[in-house]
Amino acid sequence: MQNAESILAKFDELIAKLEAESAVDEAAQAPELEASETAAEEPVDVSVEDVVDELAKKPAAKAAEKRTENLAEKRAKTPVSNTVAKPVVKPAVKPTVKPAVKPAAKRATSSTAKSKKVRKKTSDNIVLRVEGLEKHFGSTIAVEDVNFEVASGTVLGIVGPNGAGKTTTLSMITGLLRPDAGTVLISDLDVWADPAAAKRIIGVLPDRLRLFDRLTGSQLLYYCGILRELPADTVKERIGQLARAFNFEDALPRLVADYSAGMTKKIALAAALIHSPRVLVLDEPFESVDPVSANAIIEVLENYVEAGGTVVLSSHSMGLIERMCDSVAVIVEGKVLVSGTVDEVRGAGSLEDKFLELVGTKSAVEELEWLHDFSN
């Protein structure tokens, strides 16, 4: 009996200790505890089997209690799914203020707007001098008393109506047509007294040019270079450079006879440039040439002049003359009506207006009223 009582006492102590550790259960079972306190005086009949059963239940209850506590902690940390999340407000970024940029000025579309370096003409830098040049074809006076000078590193444009004598003048300058009177000096060399020496420093693009069209473009340029006594390696190198500059590399292997009019004009200009002449004389270099090729030609000529070359050209395009030339001469009926710098000749207006003023004739358009009566 004494052993049973000691066992019960130990069990009671153990139960009391477990109950003290279970604070949650005690709080939940507070009313029941109060009731048990009022009945504490009543005798309790406890057997050994009941104590053993109670001890077996306590670990399971403690484990369940631990799981409940862990689950409560997780729920406390996890936000409720139906809670509306607060929008994340990013800190305001201060806009970067860029410095005001002034709008770029419109690119000048007028050919007269392009600025050119002013090249002064002095007696020391005159490369081409034409004095008293004349040419008659029977009773027809093609050129009469033509005089002008061209300085080194400048471009002279010769303009005039059809049949005015432009091509005849250029042919006499280059030694292709003998004049009836007058002299042509290129770097103090008389073209007609010493034609071989003068022609060595001239490059020519003539009117109605005839080329060796049964040669390929590459063969033609090679022939022109060798004819000018250039080394073969130099000729081959320049052929490639000129072809790239004028954009006809693909045409080099083809026969010149198969070229278009514009392509023929470009390879003829390349032939005139291959020996790097001192003076370049071009008769209508932009005729039959597309705008892209014309721009390439202009760029090549500008670089040539910038390096000190001299160009004399004829053209019916007043815009190109204004864009390229430093000076201009207007020829009408074989005579130079006016010459000087482009600004001096055109005055306050455009070169075309001045040209029409000098050359223009009375319009007879009103006589073509019959064009209004269409033939149906």
What are the phi and psi torsion angles at 130 (to 5°)? -115, 125
124, pLDDT greater than 70: no
Alpha-carbon gap, residue 50 to 58, rounded angstroms: 13
If residue 50 lies in a helix (H) or strand (E), which one and from where to where? helix 48-77
Q: Are 164 and 141 in contact (CB under 8 A)?
A: no
Instruction: Give me the pLDDT at residue 105, please.
Output: 40
Q: Cβ atoms within 10 A of the Cβ of 22, count?
A: 15
Please choose, from the candidates 112, 91, 100, 85, the residue with its C-alpha nearest in 3D space to the C-alpha of residue 328.
112
Instruction: Give me the pLDDT at residue 349, please.
Output: 86
Residues of the chain with CATH 3.40.50.300: 125-370
Q: 93-112, pLDDT tens digit by residue?
A: 454 444 444 444 433 333 33
Q: Which amino acid does the sequence have at 311?
A: V
Q: Which CATH architecture has domain 125-370?
A: 3-Layer(aba) Sandwich (3.40)
In whole angstroms, how large is the CA radius of gyration of the chain? Answer: 53
Instruction: Give me the pLDDT at residue 66, please.
Output: 59
Does residue 280 sit in helix, strand or coil? strand
Alpha-carbon gap, residue 180 to 243, rounded angstroms: 39
Please choose, from the candidates 329, 319, 324, 211, the residue with its C-alpha nearest in 3D space to the C-alpha of residue 271.
211
If residue 73 lies in a helix (H) or strand (E), which one and from where to where? helix 48-77
Q: 283-304, pLDDT tens digit by residue?
A: 999 988 889 889 999 999 999 9
Q: Are 241 and 274 in contact (CB under 8 A)?
A: no
Please choose, from the candidates 165, 158, 119, the residue with its C-alpha nearest in 3D space to the C-alpha of residue 281.
158
Q: Cβ atoms within 10 A of the Cβ of 96, count?
A: 5
252, pLDDT greater than 50: yes
Alpha-carbon gap, residue 16 to 30, rounded angstroms: 15
Cα angle for residues 365, 320, 355 (degrees, 5° grid)? 40
Cα angle for residues 184, 187, 188 (degrees, 5° grid)? 65
Does residue 100 sit in helix, strand or coil? coil
> Which residues share a beta bridge with 330?
159, 338
Q: 24-70, pLDDT tens digit by residue?
A: 455 555 555 454 444 444 444 545 455 445 555 555 555 556 566 66
Alpha-carbon gap, residue 58 to 94, rounded angstroms: 65
Alpha-carbon gap, residue 234 to 222, rounded angstroms: 10
Burial of 103 (0-12, 13-18, 19+ CB in 10 A): exposed
Q: 218-250, pLDDT tens digit by residue?
A: 999 999 999 999 999 999 999 999 999 999 999
**CA of 50: how far to CAs of 47, 53, 56, 97, in Å?**
5, 5, 10, 86
| Average confidence (pLDDT) over 260-269 | 92
Does residue 119 sit in helix, strand or coil? coil
> Which residues share a beta bridge with 159?
330
Chain mean pLDDT for the chain: 79
Instruction: Give me the pLDDT at residue 52, please.
Output: 46
Q: Are 331 and 169 in contact (CB under 8 A)?
A: yes
Alpha-carbon gap, residue 221 to 267, rounded angstroms: 8
Does residue 25 sit in helix, strand or coil? helix
If residue 336 lies in a helix (H) or strand (E), which one and from where to where? strand 335-341
Model confidence, pTM: 0.66
The torsion defined by the Cα of 180, 156, 284 and 302, in degrees rounded to 10, comes to: 140
Q: 166-211, pLDDT tens digit by residue?
A: 999 999 999 999 999 999 999 999 999 999 999 999 999 998 778 8
268, pLDDT greater than 70: yes
Instruction: Give me the pLDDT at residue 360, please.
Output: 74
Considering only 43-57, 116-130, 351-365, which range has the smallest mean pLDDT? 43-57
